[in-house]
């Protein structure tokens, strides 16, 4: 079953508005040249990776540990793709070389994991909260366009004495994709808390499509795999068309020459390449009549075979493209596992109409955060923005997402039960004082367009968010942005510590409307209208069927908001717009 939820921010999430005692809360902090990618579950550590450099921040002491990329020594640090850090932050998964070794950091040292072939690309991606098991992808073959699998799923168990990890165990994996072709990659990215569920992706032979795969261990220690979205593949039930494979080999003219003729031809070719005088040598000019006849017959046979193959090739790709366009396609390596081990969170790749009047193509690629129920295969997609990707999943199925890089402003989102709210608004609703901090510290002047009449760039003050990551309970949230306001910087992160607040992840059960931050009103379900009045008594705004976070978008001042329920009862609250 597949369903899609479309929400605008005006009908966003009704998240808890429990206000914190902000007197003891640490002020949010900006960290230049970092892109925080994940937290330890206890919030003590948050980790960044920028241009091959890993930065570990101890959020309690402020201590920063850096591992800086060094081209001379071939050091290039790359974080694991999944839940790459233990709950207490004592073990961190990464690669320590440009060749992608599978490694982990513990006790102040880097350690390499056992792999089948250390000359291939190997990655440690996910680790259980207690560090007892690691999952990752190991290299079977070099990067190749041949019909081979390059990555396979694997795991490593901690040694019985608690020191280090044992040999690599390869998980069972499919040798055919859903088209019946040899896949390029079969990966393992994220692992459950008990280590018995691992999720990854299968990249099809074409390299143009990915689907999730789930590996599960039974009570006897036996592993099996499944494709949770297999029922959604080829929904139109198109009749499969056989892939004709590679086309026939064109005959080589040189192979029809005798040894002496070939020597003469190569000498002429060498002379031409030296002097560039005269006509370019043609092997046929060095053939006997019999050889020319045999070569011509071989070329005619090749042409006939190629014509047949080409017809089969086009038929197969017409079928394959139709299936790929109608089937869910997931963004490469964008895989997260919910804390209850029941849901895969990722991102769908889709095509939407291109509304740019100067566009060459009528459609363009867009991304949608999504969730997949592992047991039922139900797929649900969300649309916080035109093109938006998942960046993680917290407790209670809360999905973190962010605008596609290059979007101005790039914003972060929190999605719960289909309700959507920007991270900025969510944090401001928890700690109203943070709203002004966000306005002051995350607002930048950036180029938003070009005035062709005046021949100049258009600048505007814009408040940014970024790609969010968080602890499972959302008590600590970080976002990073690629700093379009600063051409000399690669990235900047912001860290919000909400550990002293309460009700951070709780969905509001209040039956009354309430005032949010930044001139917003939070309206729970059951209201049919929202009327906003100036203190003079004039009605300045009316919203029909309000639900979630409603932005007033009114001049600065104090207003009275009145929500009316279907039974005629009302709820009134004062709200400040700024």
Q: Which domains does the chain have, with CATH numbers?
A: 2-233+327-497 (2.130.10.10), 253-323 (no CATH), 514-577 (2.60.40.1930)
Q: What is the pLDDT of residue 499?
A: 83
List Cα–Cα distances, 30 to 94, 142, 440, in angstroms. Answer: 24, 41, 12
Cα 388 to Cα 409: distance, rounded to the nearest angstrom: 12
Concatenated DSSP letters of 18-45: PPP-GGGSPPPEEEET--EEEE-TTSSE
CA angle 37, 411, 41 (to 5 degrees): 30
CA dihedral 90, 93, 99, 101 (to 10 degrees): 80
Cα 162 to Cα 156: distance, rounded to the nearest angstrom: 13
Stretches where the chain sits below pLDDT 70 are 1-24, 357-359, 501-510, 516-518, 578
Could you say which DSSP state residue 113 is in? Answer: P
Cα 198 to Cα 192: distance, rounded to the nearest angstrom: 6
Q: Is 396 helix (H, G, I), strand (E, B) or coil?
A: helix
Q: What is the pLDDT of residues 350-399, one digit of tens each?
A: 988 877 766 677 778 999 999 999 999 999 999 998 899 999 999 888 99
The answer to whether the beta carbons of residues 63 and 77 sit under 8 Å apart is: no
The answer to whether the beta carbons of residues 362 and 351 sit under 8 Å apart is: no
Distance of CA 542 to the CA centre of its chain: 38
Q: What is the pLDDT of residues 7-44, one digit of tens each?
A: 333 333 333 333 444 546 789 999 999 999 999 999 99
Q: What is the pLDDT of residues 468-495, one digit of tens each?
A: 999 999 999 999 999 999 888 899 999 9
Which of 243, 171, 231 has the alpha carbon at shortest distance from 204? 243
Task: Report the predicted TM-score, pTM, of the whole model to 2 decimal places.
Answer: 0.80
Give 574's strand partners.
560
Which of 576, 523, 398 has the alpha carbon at shortest distance from 17? 523
Helix (H) or strand (E) holding 272: helix 259-275
- E strands present in 354-398: 363-373, 379-382, 388-393
Lookup: tokens for 460? 């505007």
Number of C-beta neighbours around residue 300 at 10 A: 11
List Cα–Cα distances, 114 to 155, 164, 167, 563, in angstroms. Answer: 10, 10, 5, 62
Pairing of strands 557-565, 548-551: unpaired
- E strands present in 187-328: 190-191, 197-203, 210-217, 223-226
Q: What is the pLDDT of residue 517?
A: 62
Burial degree of 260 (CB within 10 A; 0-12, 13-18, 19+): exposed
């Amino acid at each position: 079953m597949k369903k899609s939820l479309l929400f605008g921010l005006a009908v966003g999430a009704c998240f808890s508005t429990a206000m914190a005692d902000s007197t003891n809360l640490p002020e949010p902090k900006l960290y230049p040249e970092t892109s925080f990618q994940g937290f330890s579950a206890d919030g003590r550590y948050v980790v960044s990776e920028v241009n091959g450099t890993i930065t570990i921040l101890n959020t309690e002491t402020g201590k920063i540990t850096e591992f800086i990329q060094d081209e001379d020594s071939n050091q290039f640090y790359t974080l694991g793709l999944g839940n790459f850090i233990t709950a207490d932050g004592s073990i961190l998964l990464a690669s320590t070389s440009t060749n992608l070794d599978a490694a982990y950091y513990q006790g102040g040292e880097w350690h390499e994991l056992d792999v089948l072939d250390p000359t291939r690309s190997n990655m440690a991606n996910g680790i259980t909260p207690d560090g007892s098991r690691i999952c990752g992808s190991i290299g079977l073959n070099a990067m190749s366009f041949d019909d081979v699998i390059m990555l396979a799923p694997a795991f490593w168990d901690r040694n019985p004495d608690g020191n280090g990890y044992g040999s690599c165990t390869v998980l069972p994996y499919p040798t055919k994709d859903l088209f019946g072709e040899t896949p390029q990659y079969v990966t393992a990215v994220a692992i459950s808390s008990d280590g018995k569920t691992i999720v990854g992706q299968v990249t099809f032979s074409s390299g143009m499509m990915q689907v999730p795969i789930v590996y599960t261990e039974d009570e006897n220690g036996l592993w099996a795999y499944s494709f949770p979205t297999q029922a959604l593949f080829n929904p139109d039930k198109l009749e499969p068309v056989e892939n004709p494979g590679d086309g026939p080999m064109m005959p080589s003219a040189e192979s029809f020459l005798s040894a002496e003729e070939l020597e003469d031809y190569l000498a002429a070719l060498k002379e031409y390449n030296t002097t560039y005088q005269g006509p370019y040598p043609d092997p046929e000019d060095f053939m006997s009549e019999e050889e020319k006849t045999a070569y011509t017959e071989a070329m005619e046979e090749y042409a006939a075979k190629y014509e047949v193959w080409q017809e089969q090739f086009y038929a197969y790709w017409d079928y394959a493209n139709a299936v790929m366009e109608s089937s869910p396609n997931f963004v490469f390596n964008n895989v997260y596992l919910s804390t209850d081990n029941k849901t895969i969170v990722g991102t769908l790749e889709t095509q939407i109409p291109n509304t740019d009047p100067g566009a060459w193509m009528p459609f363009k690629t867009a991304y949608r955060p999504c969730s997949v129920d592992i047991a039922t295969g139900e797929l649900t997609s969300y649309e916080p923005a035109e093109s938006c990707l998942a960046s993680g999943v917290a407790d209670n199925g809360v999905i973190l997402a962010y605008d596609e890089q290059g979007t101005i402003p790039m914003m972060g989102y929190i999605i719960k039960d289909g309700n959507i709210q920007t991270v900025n608004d969510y944090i401001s609703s928890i700690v109203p004082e943070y709203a002004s901090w966000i306005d002051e510290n995350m607002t930048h002047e950036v180029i938003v367009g070009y005035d062709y009449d005046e021949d100049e760039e258009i600048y505007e003050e814009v408040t940014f968010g970024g790609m969010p990551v968080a602890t499972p309970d959302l008590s600590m949230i970080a976002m990073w942005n690629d700093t379009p306001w600063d051409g000399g910087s690669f990235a900047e992160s912001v860290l919000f510590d909400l550990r002293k607040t309460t009700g951070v992840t709780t969905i509001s059960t209040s039956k009354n409307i309430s005032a949010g931050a930044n001139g917003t009103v939070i309206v729970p379900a059951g209201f049919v209208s929202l009327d906003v009045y100036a203190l003079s008594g004039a009605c300045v705004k009316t919203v029909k069927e309000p639900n979630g976070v409603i932005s007033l978008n009114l001049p600065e001042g104090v207003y009275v908001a009145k929500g009316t329920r279907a039974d005629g009862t009302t709820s009134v609250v004062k709200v400040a717009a700024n």
